[in-house]
Structure formats: C-alpha cells, structure tokens
Structure 1
Amino acid sequence: MSLLVRSRQKTHLIDSWMVRRLAKWALEMTEPGKNELIEHELGVFIIGPEEMAHLNYTSLK
C-alpha cells in the first residue's frame, strides 16, 4: 500500500503519524482483511482555508 500524508498549511501542527493510522484504518474498514492482497494508493493532504476556498471555487465553476 502506498500512503502519502502531507500538511501544506502552516497554522496548525498535525500528528502525521495519527493521520496515517486513521487512513490505514479507513482502508481496513472498506476492505476488511484484503489490504495485503489489493494494491492501494492514497494521498492525504491537509490544506489551509485559502487553498480550500480556491479549490471549492474552481470545482464549482
């Protein structure tokens, strides 16, 4: 499984280890017992409010 956790915001520190554990847990809940058999790629990006507003604006166009 390929898992990428990145924080692209600077205002709040995140516990990337905990985010990684939560992402692995979410994958386990969607396919119980099959994580070893299925190749996953998951990226988790924590972004700030300005970038989120920009993403929302561009996706609503």
Structure 2
Amino acid sequence: MSAGEQRHDKISTRRIARRNQLLDIAREAFVARGYHGVTMALLARRADVTNLCSTTTSPANSTSI
C-alpha cells in the first residue's frame, strides 16, 4: 500500500469515527429531549463545534424560501 493510500485510509477511518460520534450525540439528545427539544446549536455545543461548521450548504439545498 502506498503512502497516499495509507493516508486516505487513515482519513477515512477518522471521518467514520467522527460521524459515529456525531450520531451518538444526536441520538442521546433526541432521547433525552425529544425531536422538538433538540436544536442544531445544542448538537453543535455537545459536539464541540461552532454553529457555522455544524451545517453545510450546497447548490442543492441553498434555495431561498
């Protein structure tokens, strides 16, 4: 395996671990507070990220309401 492939595998493993961590945080919050009691700000605080990086915008979901 090349150094580039090893780096890619390491990044992929970290991403999967972080995704699982975020899902656990969300699951715990929804169980404790219910659907209407959970906000993105709450999840961001628990995940130790800013509100700005807790959501992403892409052309597919950036239309105005």
Normalised to the residue count of structure 2, the TM-score between the two structures is: 0.37
* Structure possessing the higher relative contact order (Cα contacts under 8 Å, 6 or more residues apart): 1
- Relative to its length, the structure with more helix (as a share) is 2
Higher Cα radius of gyration: 2
Normalised to the residue count of structure 1, the TM-score between the two structures is: 0.39
